[in-house]
Structure 1
Amino acid sequence: MAIPRGLKTAETVRHDVSLLTEQDVYFFKEGTHTKLYHKLGAHLISVEGVKGTYFALWVPNAERVSVIGDFNQWNSETHALKQRPDSSGIWEGFIPGVSPGTRYKYRIVSKYRNYQIDKGDPFAFFWEAPPQTASRVWSLDYEWGDGEWMARRHQANSLDAPLAIYEVHLGSWQRVPEEDNRSLTYREMAEKLAEYVKDMGFTHVELLPVTEHPFYGSWGYQTTGYFAPTARYGTPQDFMYLVDHLHQNGIGVILDWVPSHFPNDAHGLTYFDGTYLFEHADPKKGFHREWSSYIFNYDRHEVRAFLMSSALFWLEQYHIDGIRVDAVSSILYLDYGRQEGEWIPNEYGGRENLAAICFLRELNEAAYGAYPDIQTIAEESTAWPMVSRPSYVGGLGFGMKWNMGWMHDTLDYFSKDSIFRKYHHDQLTFSIWYAFSENFVLALSHDEVVYGKGSLFGRMSGDEWQKFANLRVLFGYMYGHPGKKLLFMGGEFAQGREWNHDQSLDWHLLQNPPHQGVQRWVSNLNHFYRAEPALYEQDFVTAGFEWIDCHAWEESIISFIRKDKTGKDMILVVCNFTPVLRTNYRIGVPRGGDWREALNSDSELYGGVGHGNFGGVEAVPFPAHGRANSLMLTVPPLSVLFFKNQQLI
């Protein structure tokens, strides 16, 4: 409703209405409140039969706070909030007539430096579509249809379940060229993405941050709205529909989430109440030069509660199945991205951020405590110990961790001409030495196809045929190697150019047989992987893996066994990383019987030449590689072979 200018505050704002209890304030100040989104922000309620919106904002250093918006012609004189008398620093008030969709901001007048500014709501459920910057009053009512998925997702998210994750940037997966190259909406994406992911055999999608962000080119990693999906593609309910539809098709949803830093946009969190409220005052602790963004102050209890509430918000309100925490290394280390003298040591003189360590442990304890059937995943690029171990044994408490070492070594190896690969054989074999020290995800992510790195296809060595063959080997090797799997969109069909967030993927490439072949290979890998417990049940324990031969460096061949929990099924993986055909190549195996050739990346189906083993090989009692039985194989050039042996019990 429109309020005439000059109407007294007392007549337009009720200050005797509050959603906050003394217990809420206690837990907020303690830093353990994990559901602040039910209390702070803008909430549509009815008071004595009068509909309106209750506003609550944490601004402890404010002199005056007003709500401005469509309903009062952005006039800061008519709707002032009142500070609570409990030293919480929270200002609140109920404004009748403010309805869903209303645009609003907070006019904050600071106690210091005559500073005043208009800020968006840190707890807003919805924002204007960028480049506009106002928050919007919104309800999160939605009728979910994913009850069956939610009841059984503990199985899909289990550490001994197959996880094949398709990483997606919503704005550039597909676009509509005939409509000014616009991105798909959440609802358009729901139908298309679910069908594609299901057909390809991926188990989960991981979405680059959907949290509201002002700069599209940040891909969502410079967040201003920690409780709102970006309005670029639709409403909160539209995003719920996307998650719901994926769930109804048996597909899990993981969100990238960024508690490490936030941008310096004026309407966002920076210098919020005329003081460094969410960030540190000292730039040696509070500013990332590399990203031109601010670092959260994890020492402040209220900031930790804000961040933990954000994570749990997506798990509760949007039925999200997992949170991938971005840039964990930048959170853990005080000297991250800094030179000597540019950082402040902790109280013991070390470079570890002690408050951040506590925050991450508390975050994981809260997430798994409330939702034990989800997963939290860390992008942590150093050798920090026990990232994916429980906090009660000294770990950080994540469920899984990206294996950045495997990714770097593997891509570097594949970029080398095959004639030189024998001198770098350890880049393939070294990963097994630490493969079981954490619960690893093997990630070929968006980070590997940007900033001049080129596409995965472009990074493969050799001529065009070798590039396609190498890419198939890379994917086959990844699916055989212990660890869960993640592949960024476009890699599955050998996208030729580097990813560009302003363009659709090059789907037209699928008119060409070699690209079709790679896509078919990834699809078949996914379906085979999901059907074979030996490839996923024991990803994180040594009992699930056995080398056959890791020393054939002259031939650039490795071979190993994957095992299920029962010991009944075994999968033999043989990788040839050179364009040399190997015939009569003997491989020792743990037992006799028939070894069926289940997958062969050199099959003509995938764009290969067609060398193979006629569907399988019978083991003979001829010793090799320390085993009593062996196989005599044809190992195609630049290929991965999967053989299955099933013991009848």
Structure 2
Amino acid sequence: MKKIPLIEKDGWLAPHRGAIEATVTEYNDILDEITDSRDGLVHFAGNHHFFGLHPYSEGWVFREWAPNASAIFLIGDFCDWKPNKTYRLQQKDHGIWEIFLPKITFKHGDYFKLFVEWEFGSGFRLPAYARRVVQDPETLLFSAQVWHPEEPFIWTDKDFHPEIKHPLIYEAHVGMAQEDEKVGTYNEFTEKVLPRIKEAGYNVIQLMAVQEHPYYGSFGYHVSNFFAPSSRFGTPEELRNLVNKAHEMGMAVIMDIVHSHAVKNEEEGLSRFDGTLDQYFYPGGRGFHPAWDSRCFDYGKREVVAFLLSNCRYWIEEFHFDGYRFDGVTSMLYTHHGLEKAFTNYNDYFDGSQDRNALVYLMLANHLIHQLKPHAISIAEEMSGFPGVGAPPEDGGLGFDFRLSMGVPDFWIKLIKDHPDETWNMQALFHELSQHRPEERTISYAESHDQALVGDKTIIFRLADKEMYDFMSKETPNLIIDRAISLHKIIRLITLTTANGGYLNFMGNEFGHPEWIDFPREGNNWSYKYARRQWSLADDKKLKYEWLGSFDQAMVNLIVNEHLLDPLPAYLNLANETDKILVFNRGDFLMVFNFHPETSFPDYGIPVAPGKYKILLNSDNPEFGGFDRIDPDILYFTEPVGGNPNNGHQLKLYIPNRTGLILKKIPTPSIY
């Protein structure tokens, strides 16, 4: 029997060998089929070069896949937006439709649509491979737009080949990344936000809501046009420029890619594209997501797999993205989408509810992504803990580089909401923050955009609540705000320093952005008041937000410059439940936390390796809103416990209450 490394690493998977082997076999069979008959996976993922509108030497060619259609017409100004036999596509084999048109038919910037007919029906549609889609501000209707500028964008990032072992991710939404009450643009993000991210020390930018979506308030997760960068933020060239500038500044850019579902809109989306509900989506009820009011892709159809893989290739090749954060992976993995399902043991993962088609698709997608860009970053938004998410396909896994540690923010919310900090359990805290499956690396985070939305609360707001409105001036002391700032800093510090791979922060959360996210909608009278980021709060030297931003910047830059996440794993040195002291190490780095709300401890003994240590980061530093209770220049020397080296060594520290420290062991010159 052939060994499967995933099972070899985790013996508890042995009873489920059959299911894992079946998935691996199907993946290999499809890969072999693609390689043999379609000239390789990259070629198979080239639909965007064939379908859609493309210029050629004598004019234009347009192709579409619509097997149930009885007729398809291109419509636009050239035919007064009415079906005309001159612009009727010809039906080819395998449900493909095609038309060749003279050059004068289209010019750059023209608008067009499809009119599709089928038995007993017809309707306007946007091309499935449309590369630009624009909404009319008056009619609110969407049209495809010919996008073929005379001067192509010139990339200057050919020397950018990042190998980012530990992504420190700045999660951002272009539209709400500005202070004015409006929709922000790619250009504004490039000019105003990229320098902030660079200065803050993050090495990866994760862009949300890039794929076109008809409803702005969906946060970009109800995608209608998978190959079109959202035009509400600007032009494709302006998005390219954003990525190019980020690369010039040394930062990778990944995007949220939504292949877990699609918007159910029919005129601007893929639903009922050719008159059938199951062209791109599963037939029957399985094709509708019961919680998201959207459509579920049929990952068992070769045409759908080719569409989605082509989408993966498109954004990497056309916009130089460095990888993806795959949205809604848990929903893809199971026919029940993970809804109202508790995963308490391995039988719950292999109870017959797996969508093997989706598993194989994700394996193919990750294979393709890393074939196109070997140092690409792929991240799974996966909350069930499915075994093998972070293992290579050849080892029996799905091939993601990282899995989001979605349990970490849930843990922090429950801890802050349900338990006063004097009762926090140090052992449980360390366990929750450092646990992970043996085969995977994870992205840890204390909070993301999910916790900032209306209906939830950010960490700073849970800690400070209404006091934030009156006591964030440095001239107005307040004990509630003091507690909130202290805990905000050490919660983020311990989350980052326990990470088994990388870390994520949503824009503005690093400085404790005071207000939630609420996109314009009927319920708020279509207001943009909360769909923005108030950067001026962090820039104002009179406000305490500056302290939090400065601490985050110092923390992230230290992690990068010292390669602090390299030593694995994090080893627990001490967890004292009475004193609320938690200490752990990663190689030569020692992380010390005092979560006690009142008590500071002088000469606190910490078991460590012998040597001398220096403080690299201190959350009690006055620059970070601390109380300056520790001398930053002291070198700390270990001493034998009880004067006997056989009992081990200890480091005696003064540890103020609600303080986090990072120390580093300093090499001692050899006397030989």
TM-score by length of 2: 0.83
Structure-to-structure mapping, 1:155-554, within 5 angstroms:
155=163, 157=164, 159=165, 162-176=166-180, 181-267=181-267, 268-275=269-276, 276-283=278-285, 285-336=286-337, 350-423=352-425, 425-434=427-436, 436-443=438-445, 444-460=447-463, 463-483=480-500, 484-501=502-519, 502=528, 503-510=531-538, 511=540, 512-533=542-563, 535-538=564-567, 541-542=568-569, 545-549=570-574, 551-554=575-578
Contact 1:494 1:515 in 2 (8 A): yes
Contact 1:206 1:256 in 2 (8 A): yes
Q: Does 1:589 align with 2:592?
A: no
Contact 2:387 2:437 in 1 (8 A): no
Q: In 2, Cα distance between the equivalents of 1:419 and 1:433?
A: 21
Question: Which residue of structure 1 lines up, in the alignment, with residue 111 of structure 2?
Answer: 103
Q: In 2, Cα distance between the equivalents of 1:203 and 1:224?
A: 30
Q: In 1, Cα distance between the equivalents of 2:256 and 2:485?
A: 30
Cα displacement (A) at 1:406:
2.4
Q: Does 1:137 align with 2:146?
A: yes
Question: Which residue of structure 2 lines up, in the alignment, with residue 8 of structure 1?
Answer: none
Contact 1:476 1:525 in 2 (8 A): yes
Residues 460-501 of structure 1 deviation map (CA, whole Å, 9 limit, x = unaligned): 378211011110111111221133110001111111121234
Q: Does 1:34 align with 2:45?
A: yes
User: Which residue identity does 1:136 align to in structure 2?
Assistant: Q
Q: In 2, Cα distance between the equivalents of 1:368 and 1:436?
A: 22
Q: In 1, Cα distance between the equivalents of 2:544 and 2:237?
A: 40
Worse-matched range after superposition: 255-264 or 30-39: 30-39
CA gap 1:494/1:435 in 2 versus in 1, 3 angstroms: farther
Cα displacement (A) at 1:120:
0.5
Structure-to-structure mapping, 1:19-168, within 5 angstroms:
27=38, 33-47=44-58, 52-77=59-84, 78-84=86-92, 86=93, 88-96=94-102, 97=104, 98-110=106-118, 112=119, 114-129=120-135, 131-139=140-148, 141-149=152-160, 152-153=161-162, 155=163, 157=164, 159=165, 162-168=166-172
Unaligned runs of 5+ in 2: 1-33, 342-347, 465-478, 520-527
Cα displacement (A) at 1:415:
3.7
Contact 1:588 1:629 in 2 (8 A): yes
CA gap 1:238/1:633 in 2 versus in 1, 3 angstroms: same
Unaligned runs of 5+ in 1: 1-22, 341-345, 564-569
Cα displacement (A) at 1:203:
0.8
Q: In 2, Cα distance between the equivalents of 1:120 and 1:311?
A: 20
Q: In 2, Cα distance between the equivalents of 1:70 and 1:35?
A: 30
User: Which residue identity does 2:283 align to in structure 1?
Assistant: A
Q: In 2, Cα distance between the equivalents of 1:627 and 1:126?
A: 69
Give the root-mean-square deviation of aligned CA atoms: 2.5
Contact 1:588 1:627 in 2 (8 A): no
Residues 334-390 of structure 1 deviation map (CA, whole Å, 9 limit, x = unaligned): 0125579xxxxx9x9710001111111011111111211211110000120010110
Aligned-pair identity in percent equals: 27
Cα displacement (A) at 1:26:
6.4
Cα displacement (A) at 1:413:
2.3
Worse-matched range after superposition: 316-325 or 637-646: 637-646
Worse-matched range after superposition: 91-100 or 289-298: 91-100
Residues 543-595 of structure 1 deviation map (CA, whole Å, 9 limit, x = unaligned): xx22211x3112222111112xxxxxx111011222232222111111212x1
User: Which residue identity does 2:117 align to in structure 1?
Assistant: V
Residues 411-470 of structure 1 deviation map (CA, whole Å, 9 limit, x = unaligned): 322445545434575143244343654210013210121141122211237821101111
CA gap 1:192/1:320 in 2 versus in 1, 3 angstroms: same
Q: Secondary structure at the match of 1:43?
A: strand
Question: Which residue of structure 2 lines up, in the alignment, with residue 574 of structure 1?
Answer: 592
Contact 1:617 1:633 in 2 (8 A): no
Residues 82-139 of structure 1 deviation map (CA, whole Å, 9 limit, x = unaligned): 011x3x21101111122222211111111x3x11111101111111136331111213
Contact 1:387 1:397 in 2 (8 A): yes
Q: In 1, Cα distance between the equivalents of 2:330 and 2:43?
A: 23
CA gap 1:40/1:523 in 2 versus in 1, 3 angstroms: same
Q: Does 1:630 align with 2:650?
A: yes
Contact 1:68 1:79 in 2 (8 A): yes
Q: In 2, Cα distance between the equivalents of 1:248 and 1:81?
A: 44
Cα displacement (A) at 1:183:
2.5
Q: 2:583 aligns with which of 541, 544, 559?
A: 559
Residues 163-199 of structure 1 deviation map (CA, whole Å, 9 limit, x = unaligned): 21111111111143xxxx3333212211112211111
Q: In 1, Cα distance between the equivalents of 2:265 and 2:646?
A: 63
Contact 1:127 1:134 in 2 (8 A): yes
Q: In 1, Cα distance between the equivalents of 2:646 and 2:421?
A: 28
Contact 2:41 2:368 in 1 (8 A): no
- May I ask how many residue pairs the two structures share in their alignment? 588
Contact 2:454 2:518 in 1 (8 A): no
User: Which residue identity does 1:46 align to in structure 2?
Assistant: S
Contact 2:415 2:424 in 1 (8 A): no
Question: Which residue of structure 2 lines up, in the alignment, with residue 19 of structure 1?
Answer: none
Contact 2:51 2:62 in 1 (8 A): yes
Q: Secondary structure at the match of 2:391?
A: coil
Q: In 2, Cα distance between the equivalents of 1:620 and 1:63?
A: 82
Q: Secondary structure at the match of 2:314?
A: helix
Cα displacement (A) at 1:408:
1.7
Contact 1:108 1:116 in 2 (8 A): yes
Report which of the two has the higher share of helix: 2
Q: In 1, Cα distance between the equivalents of 2:55 and 2:428?
A: 60
Contact 1:256 1:326 in 2 (8 A): yes
CA gap 1:36/1:627 in 2 versus in 1, 3 angstroms: farther
CA gap 1:115/1:26 in 2 versus in 1, 3 angstroms: farther
Q: In 2, Cα distance between the equivalents of 1:277 and 1:170?
A: 32
Contact 2:63 2:99 in 1 (8 A): yes
CA gap 1:491/1:435 in 2 versus in 1, 3 angstroms: farther
Contact 1:256 1:323 in 2 (8 A): yes
Worse-matched range after superposition: 520-529 or 449-458: 449-458
Q: Secondary structure at the match of 1:310?
A: helix
Cα displacement (A) at 1:257:
0.5
Question: Which residue of structure 2 lines up, in the alignment, with residue 615 of structure 1?
Answer: 633
Q: Does 1:603 align with 2:621?
A: yes
CA gap 1:207/1:626 in 2 versus in 1, 3 angstroms: farther
Worse-matched range after superposition: 290-299 or 133-142: 133-142
Contact 1:28 1:305 in 2 (8 A): no
Residues 585-632 of structure 1 deviation map (CA, whole Å, 9 limit, x = unaligned): 111111212x11111101111011112244334223222999722211
Residues 271-327 of structure 1 deviation map (CA, whole Å, 9 limit, x = unaligned): 1101121112211x1111211000001111100110111111111111101200001
Question: Which residue of structure 2 lines up, in the alignment, with residue 641 of structure 1?
Answer: 661
CA gap 1:28/1:307 in 2 versus in 1, 3 angstroms: farther
Question: Which residue of structure 1 lines up, in the alignment, with residue 11 of structure 2?
Answer: none
